[in-house]
Amino acid sequence: MNEGIAQTATIGVIGDVHLFWDGQDVSFFNDGGYDLLLFVGDLAGYTQLRGLRVARSLQKLRIPAMCIPGNHDGLHAFQLGAEITPRAHRLRNVLSLGQASRCRSLDRALGHVELVAYCRRRLTLGGVPLNIVVGRPHSIGGRRLACIRYLAEHYGIDSMEASAARLRSLVDACDAAPILFLAHNGPSGLGERASSIWGCDFRKKEEDWGDRDLEDAVRHARGNGRSVLAAVAGHMHRKTKSGKLRPGQIEKDGVLYVNAAEVPRHRHIDGRKRRHHVKLTVTETTANAEDVWV
Ligand SMILES: [Fe+2]
């Protein structure tokens, strides 16, 4: 290490893919100089088959990568409909049948790209020691747990309180290295407007649509003197239903929060197809996020 120059880790954060992924993305990231790629979930659209195609393409990445399942990953369209439509909630448990096998298929299709949820990974990237704490899979946001039957059967989580307790225990298992949270949806506590970083834009009533358990985990970490560098997530697309733009990042109490969900992440700009991701640069004490269109 050069005296006085901080070690730096460079992490690519890829927002909700929703099928916008191809061989050029693979080539870019394989040569992009990243130490790690974090996929915040929602590789799929409304069919699992096309999501699996994206997952198989991710196998060609030659750098370490992990992905947390979003609410579109491992759920078929009817199950997703039952999760998001209050009138159909009573059907969600029966429609969750087969979710475990769909998630296993996704895991197999991803190959060495790790499908992660409710876990901690201790890595050293670019000389920077990091605890990556991974949150609740399949989050749909708000106060209600999505996929509760699956969460109960596979993770022993049957309530928001149980989920918060699991995340706190993951934080407690971290060593002295700083923490980076990876989640599908971001934490609550960051704004109650439709255009807040994780605000609800699909109901008349504007409200905070962030995950309560994740907010609790960040607070728990900071309250216990842990260094929390950043929390990266997506789910709530940056462009709201009314056409307003959410912030892609905000900083609060020394923690950088990144919503990477630029959807679609492939876009034609000035006649050229461009691809979005967030370049997250961290040292042991700092985090910086930059939107990149390549
Ligand atoms: Fe999502």
Distance 136 CA to ligand 1 centre (A): 12
4 within some domain: no
Residue 162 in any domain: the answer is yes
| 1 belongs to a structural domain | no
Residue 27 lies in domain: 9-293
pLDDT at residue 1, as a whole number: 47
What type of residue is 103? C
Residue-wise pLDDT tens digits, 179-216: 999 999 999 999 999 999 999 999 999 999 999 999 99
- pTM reported for the whole predicted model: 0.96
Find the CATH number of the domain harbouring 41. Answer: 3.60.21.10
Instruction: Locate the DSSP E strands across the chain.
Output: 9-14, 36-39, 65-67, 114-115, 119-125, 128-134, 179-185, 228-234, 249-252, 255-259, 266-269, 272-282, 287-293
Tell me the CA–centroid distance for residue 228 and ligand 1, in Å. 24
- Centroid of ligand 1 to alpha carbon of 288 (angstroms): 24
pLDDT tens-place string over residues 55-96:
999 999 999 999 999 999 999 999 999 998 888 888 888 888
Taking the centre of ligand 1 as the mean of its atom positions, its distance from the CA of residue 233, in whole angstroms, is 10
The structural domain count of the chain equals 1
